[in-house]
Amino acid sequence: DVLLRMHSVGICGSDVHYWQHGRIGDFVVKDPMVLGHEASGTVVKVGSGVTHLKPGDRVAIEPGVPREMDEFCKTGRYNLSPTIFFCATPPDDGNLCRYYKHSASYCYKLPDNVTFEEGALIEPLSVGIHACKRAGVTLGSKVFVSGSGPIGLVNVLVAKMMGAAAVVITDLSASRLQKAKEVGADFTIQVKNETPQEIASKVESLLGCMPEITVECTGVEACIQAGIYATRSGGTLVLVGLGPEMVTVPIVNAAVREVDIRGIFRYCNTWPVAIALLASKRINIKPLVTHRFPLEKALEAFETTKRGEGVKVMLKCDPTDHNP
């Protein structure tokens, strides 16, 4: 293990959901719990067996740590391990605090040209990397991203990075769609009260064809329906956003057109990839951060996220650091 002095911690929609509702699906908050799982910090102390890190190293933290070497770990899909430790998923405490202890293997040293804030953003970026890999985004792909929150935006960034020729994104909010344009979306659709079929037909007309890949980042039933209708026959729909447990979808439409529907659960093996992309300046994730608060103003930061203001709210846990 390593002891870290925390620096930057992003607030995720799931943090707000636990705060407001006390549960997400089967994960129920029964005792007081520390939130936060998008984080970076500085190594203060290392355990006796740790060789790749030393005090003073700046690191990004991968929040999911397998507790045992089970079948999923052996096949490289450790995110699916049923006993995995995960920051800020009950009953596991997160890292929105001054000091935090974490498994050394899941702390990744940051190069000098990658900031603490970028280090914290590797967590949401990882969702995009994992989703686009599962979707099979490749050179020339036409991609439809549903939802322009932080996760929709990282999927735009990663899809373009992986060679997508055109990306269209939808959202209710004009300001969020403007941010999507800034990070590389080719087309935007502001959803008003169209039917799922109407959204699908708008996507097709903007792209000039139906997309081979749809990445659904809202979890909203109508958006999943639109995702199925929009995806080209033989294409892939990846479900990233989580909504109600039961949703009604046109499954026969997907089945007879051989549309593959894939789920994702967090990510695995993405931190080294993300660090390489950030260090080489192949991806610019900095525009995602729109608000910053010191740890003392955590409640204000959570309220800001709850209201849906900006994109990513970042908390600064180190009072001695005066850099932005």
Q: Does residue 75 share a domain with residue 17?
A: yes
In a domain, 153, yes or no: yes
Q: Does residue 198 share a domain with residue 86?
A: no
Q: Does residue 177 share a domain with residue 59?
A: no
Q: Does residue 134 share a domain with residue 97?
A: no
Q: Does residue 138 share a domain with residue 85?
A: no
Task: List the chain pLDDT tens, one digit each, 324 residues.
Answer: 999 999 999 999 999 999 999 999 889 999 999 999 999 999 999 999 999 999 999 999 999 999 999 999 999 999 999 999 999 999 999 999 999 999 999 999 999 999 999 999 999 999 999 999 999 999 999 999 999 999 999 999 999 999 999 999 999 999 999 999 999 999 999 999 999 999 999 999 999 999 999 999 999 999 999 999 999 999 999 999 999 999 999 999 999 999 999 999 999 999 999 999 999 999 999 999 999 999 999 999 999 999 998 899 999 998 776 554
Q: How far apart are CA 60 and CA 94, in angstroms?
A: 14
Burial of 283 (0-12, 13-18, 19+ CB in 10 A): buried
In a domain, 324, yes or no: no
**Strand-pair category, 289-294 with 312-316:** parallel
Q: Does residue 101 share a domain with residue 20?
A: yes
* CATH number (domain holding residue 8): 3.90.180.10
What single letter denotes the amino acid at residue 145?
V
User: Which DSSP letter does residue 136 get?
Assistant: T
Range of the domain at 51: 2-109+285-316
In a domain, 22, yes or no: yes
Domain count, the chain: 2
Q: Does residue 153 share a domain with residue 92?
A: no
Q: Does residue 195 share a domain with residue 143?
A: yes
pLDDT attached to residue 324: 45
pLDDT attached to residue 318: 84
Q: Does residue 207 share a domain with residue 310?
A: no
Q: Does residue 91 share a domain with residue 191?
A: no
Q: Does residue 161 share a domain with residue 45?
A: no
Q: Which helix (H) or strand (E) covers residue 122, if one does?
A: helix 116-135
Can you tell me which residue has the tokens 């909504």?
Answer: 243
Q: Does residue 136 share a domain with residue 252?
A: yes
Helix (H, G, I), strand (E, B) or coil at 41: strand
